[in-house]
Structure 1
Amino acid sequence: MTERKCILTGDRADPDTLIRLAVGPEGQVLPDIRAKAPGRGAWIGVTRAELETALARGKLKGALARSFKDGALQIPESLPALVEDGLRKALLDRLGLEARASMLLTGSEKIDVACRKGQVQLLLHAVDAAADGNRKLDQAFRVGRDAEGTDLAGITLPVDRDALSMAMGRDNVVHIAVTDSRAASRLRAAIGRLESYLGCANGAPVHGEHDSADAPGVPD
């Protein structure tokens, strides 16, 4: 089975678009962003606001108790923030890996040239980038992609330039151009998970039909 069900909604989705919750040795429930922690896990596919509501109303506790058949789980009040921090770290880690593999370009002038030559697969902007700088590079991106007159543009990340610079080990990273298609796909996935959780994604994950062999709330 390659899909999992959200214990809060019952919707099915690829696990890459969901968030796994795992139980630690002391019974504490923590996010397992990379889905690699040992033992059983439960999956959620909701926004941070929805998770906060479910936590406050006891719905999350009930869903986890049913999934793990354990009513004594410890759910930290900071769980929604921990999930966001984990997703943001996963994105920054991915950017760092792609940078070290020479899949990215930084610097407005270099990015502008690469965009106009059609070499850029994905264009990214820091959340605190200047609007004028974004517009110029977005236009160059459209030129290179033969998409003038469309709304094609770079993605504004929910991450500021300081965090990008630290992740990539470079000074003043404001804009990023991704020149490799596989790297672009990996980054889109990481960005999509964070944006979906923050409630600002371009599109929601597509859920499959109900499969009675994988009942809602069954941990992996």
Structure 2
Amino acid sequence: MTERKCILSGDRADPEMLVRLACGPSGEILPDIRAKAPGRGAWIGVSRPELEQALAKGKLKGALARAFKTGDLQIPDTLPALIEDGLRKALLDRLGLEAKASMVLTGSEKIDVACRKGEVTLLLHAADAAADGNRKLDQALRVGQEAEGTDLAGIVLPVDRHALSMAMGRDNVVHIAVTDSRAASRLRAAIGRLESYLGCANGAPVHGGQDSAGALGA
């Protein structure tokens, strides 16, 4: 797909970093996270706080009216929350698919070994993971990538261990190591879109001159 334009900011971006809004038969506006709903769509690329402000001030309704060429629209007050829930579900579904395809490792000991061998492409931590456990695995990641002394680290997800465990069908998932580069790319996209919407991007800084698509943990 080509770039899409955010109806609120006017900025253009890859559709993978935006959220599509669809208009139902009754004029109800709902998020179309997978961008597969039929008919005309409108794209937004702002954070949740910005969307809530636009909704409260009527700016969102005006932008949607122009996009759909009608003022007969129903915008639920819960739209910002619906989008967040949809983005979080998309991330969890992606993690579940990668787990079924055996693209990820769980369990601190297994992850530690794989990190030190340089086999981990992306390291993830649950939102409620212990700081000490994160530090140990982050250090193992740096050892395996010959990046000791840098700030290379895993991503702390905006998702807790319970949600991760349910999504992946495994017990007590606190840390996740991704060993396939293509799987890592797919997950980075899902994580980036959710974090951008939440306004809480916390991935590790780019390391070793790589761009964000190639940086471990970025």
TM-score, normalised via structure 2 length: 0.92
Which amino acid in 2 is paired with 1:182?
Answer: R
Query: Does 1 or 2 have the higher relative contact order (CA < 8 Å, sep 6+)?
Result: 1
Q: Give the aligned partner of residue 213 of structure 2.
A: none
Q: How far off its partner does 1:104 sit? A: 0.3
* Distance across 2 between alignment mates of 1:45 and 1:126: 25
Q: Give the aligned partner of residue 18 of structure 1.
A: 18
Q: Give the aligned partner of residue 48 of structure 2.
A: 48
TM-score, normalised via structure 1 length: 0.91
Q: Give the aligned partner of residue 206 of structure 2.
A: none
Aligned residues: CA RMSD: 0.9
CA contact (8 A) 2:157 2:191 kept: yes
Which amino acid in 2 is paired with 1:123?
Answer: L
Contiguous gaps of at least 5 residues in structure 2: 204-218
Q: Equivalent residue of 1:30, what SS?
A: strand
Q: Equivalent residue of 1:22, what SS?
A: strand
Which amino acid in 1 is paired with 2:127?
Answer: V
Matched, 1:62 2:68: no
Q: Equivalent residue of 2:105, what SS?
A: strand
CA contact (8 A) 2:155 2:202 kept: no
Q: Give the aligned partner of residue 214 of structure 2.
A: none
Q: Give the aligned partner of residue 197 of structure 2.
A: 197
1:151-190 maps to which residues of 2 (within 5 A)? 151-190=151-190
Which amino acid in 2 is paired with 1:10?
Answer: G
Cα offsets for 1:82-131 (capped at 9, x unmatched) = 00000000000000000000000000000000000000000000000000
Which runs of at least 4 in structure 1 moved beyond 2 Å after TM superposition?
A: none
* Distance across 2 between alignment mates of 1:202 and 1:130: 16
Q: How far off its partner does 1:202 sit? A: 5.3
1:28-177 maps to which residues of 2 (within 5 A)? 28-177=28-177
Q: How far off its partner does 1:25 sit? A: 1.5
Q: Equivalent residue of 1:83, what SS?
A: helix
* Distance across 2 between alignment mates of 1:65 and 1:25: 15
* Distance across 2 between alignment mates of 1:93 and 1:49: 25
CA contact (8 A) 2:156 2:202 kept: no
Cα offsets for 1:139-190 (capped at 9, x unmatched) = 0000001100000000000000000000000000000000000000000000
Q: How far off its partner does 1:201 sit? A: 2.1
Q: Equivalent residue of 1:135, what SS?
A: helix
Between the two proteins, the alignment pairs up a number of residues equal to: 203
